[in-house]
Amino acid sequence: MILPVDDYYRKYNWDLKKVAWNCSRCSNCKWVDAWEVRDARFARICPSSQFYLFDAYSCQGRMDTALALTTGKLKYEDSPAIPDIFNKCNLCGGCDAMCKRVQDMEPLRVIGEMRTRLVGDGQISPLHMPVIESLKKEDNMMMAKKADRGAWAEGLEVKDLTRESAEVVFHAGCRLSYDPELRHLPRLAISILKKAGVDFGIMGKDETCCGGRAQEMGYLGEFTKYAENNIEAWKNAGVKTVVTACADGYYTFKRLYPALRANFEVCHIVEYLSRLLETGRLKLTKAVPMTITYHDPCHLGRRLAQAPGHYVPGAPISGLYEEPRRLIKQIPGVRLTEMWRIKEYAWCCGAGGGVVDAYPDFNEFTAGERLAEARATGAAAIVTACPWCEHNFLDAAKASGDKIEVLDILEMVARAL
């Protein structure tokens, strides 16, 4: 075996231009690996390339545009569509997972860094501005009042960590704090944690956004501000473990905060409930007789392996895949039937990367495709562990008249207690 002499080629080096240049335009980024395809209806993995049907909106098209911009062959004034090429993307990581099978590269990181460059160069999407302005003025991504942040917890007897201390904090996140269709979920989480005798608290009205969505949109300053604010607040409250029911928040706390010297254990509620079940502090005794299918949120799945600085060349596209499935299988009476695209091959819900706020038609299409796949399994309900996914599926089901039930894994656990 002949090895290169130059260390540049002997060890992994991240370089945006190099990754974009090395794209072979093979189109594997658009499709599920051939050996995993079990139905032609569910063979694609890139929502934007399927919806927009133009190669510029595929991963390889974005690599072309990124390379042309970074080498000076293309300038912003050459086309007003350039920002859209990068923004009309869920950042779901499907393309990246498929690319790693062939090239073992980081195209998702290229797309993310190009978004940051766009914002830095003043190429700001007006469609993202209402959300960014809401973040700056009201500390949330929901265009809601900061004063209403803790309203979801009214009437609950739970520690306020702005005045008390605890080793465990439950972070609700923007979507669960404000979405009227989902605000019962953090209340369920509080109820379950109290039933298990966990000593924990919340930040209540002083909780702020995790900053993850701002980071995805390219606003690193806003991300850093909220990350540092949360880290400081948790340290002051004596927090050692952060628990959240939001997949976006989980990814942000676990993968992005450590670069800012955050030293907390981060658990998704699925992991924490599994721990409580294993130690006997919770018991699932009531039967829940129903057939369900499980949707892997991108931020609980492949995105964990693809995070900048966490990617290991040649390593599997690992994620939080088995934990929710084990939890579901512990619920008496539940039958889990899998969709065709699962784990690192899962089709996105459509909400990621700011798409839910800026491109409603694309967003609804992506969610509808996933519901069609769920319905094809014969399941009565699609269960997931991400409020952004649930919001999207609920909206898509209403728009299409789909009768499939959309549930959070917390609701399944609560029914079995």
Residue 101 — pLDDT band, cuts 50, 70, 90? confident
Q: Are residues 97 and 195 in the same domain?
A: no
End-to-end CA separation in angstroms for the chain: 59
- The whole domain housing 332 covers 290-416
Residue 32 has pLDDT above 90, yes or no: yes
Tell me the pairing of strands 405-408 and 168-171.
unpaired
Q: Are residues 158 and 112 in the same domain?
A: no
In a domain, 161, yes or no: yes
For 91-116, letters b (16+ CB in 10 Å) and e give bbbbbbbbbbeebebbbbbbbbbbbb
Residue 253 has pLDDT above 90, yes or no: yes
Residue 102 has pLDDT above 70, yes or no: yes
Residue 212 region by backbone torsions, left for phi larger than 0, else alpha for psi between -120 and 50, else beta? alpha
What is residue 1's predicted lDDT score, i.e. its pLDDT?
39
In angstroms, the Cα distances linking 332 to 148, 324, 329, 416 are: 38, 15, 8, 7
In a domain, 1, yes or no: no
Q: Are residues 177 and 256 in the same domain?
A: yes
10 Å Cβ neighbour count for 123? 17
Q: How many domains does the chain have?
A: 3
Last residue of a domain, one of 223, 244, 278: 278
What is residue 315's predicted lDDT score, i.e. its pLDDT?
86
Residue 279 has pLDDT above 90, yes or no: yes
Tell me the pairing of strands 241-244 and 381-384.
unpaired
Q: Are residues 301 and 258 in the same domain?
A: no
Residue 3 has pLDDT above 70, yes or no: no
What percentage of the chain has pLDDT greater than the value 90? 93
Looking up residue 150, the CATH number of its domain turns out to be 1.20.1050
Q: Are residues 243 and 321 in the same domain?
A: no
Q: Are residues 43 and 16 in the same domain?
A: yes
Tell me the pairing of strands 381-384 and 290-294.
parallel
Q: Are residues 113 and 73 in the same domain?
A: yes
Q: Are residues 215 and 147 in the same domain?
A: yes
In a domain, 285, yes or no: no
Looking up residue 382, the CATH number of its domain turns out to be 3.40.50
Last residue of a domain, one of 91, 120, 149: 120
In a domain, 74, yes or no: yes
Q: Are residues 101 and 19 in the same domain?
A: yes
Average pLDDT, the chain: 96
Q: Are residues 296 and 271 in the same domain?
A: no
What is residue 13's predicted lDDT score, i.e. its pLDDT?
76
What is residue 293's predicted lDDT score, i.e. its pLDDT?
99
In a domain, 142, yes or no: yes
Q: Are residues 340 and 411 in the same domain?
A: yes
10 Å Cβ neighbour count for 285? 9
Per-residue pLDDT tens over the stretch 305-334: 999 988 888 888 999 999 999 999 999 999
Per-residue pLDDT tens over the stretch 117-151: 999 999 999 999 999 999 999 999 999 999 999 99
For 233-259, what is the mean pLDDT?
98
In a domain, 4, yes or no: no
Q: Are residues 155 and 272 in the same domain?
A: yes
In angstroms, the Cα distances linking 173 to 84, 192, 256 are: 27, 18, 16
In a domain, 175, yes or no: yes
In a domain, 189, yes or no: yes
Q: What is the pTM of this model?
A: 0.96
Per-residue pLDDT tens over the stretch 355-397: 999 999 999 999 999 999 999 999 999 999 999 999 999 999 9
Last residue of a domain, one of 278, 309, 343: 278
What is residue 151's predicted lDDT score, i.e. its pLDDT?
98
CA-wise closest residue to 369 among 352, 391, 347, 385: 347
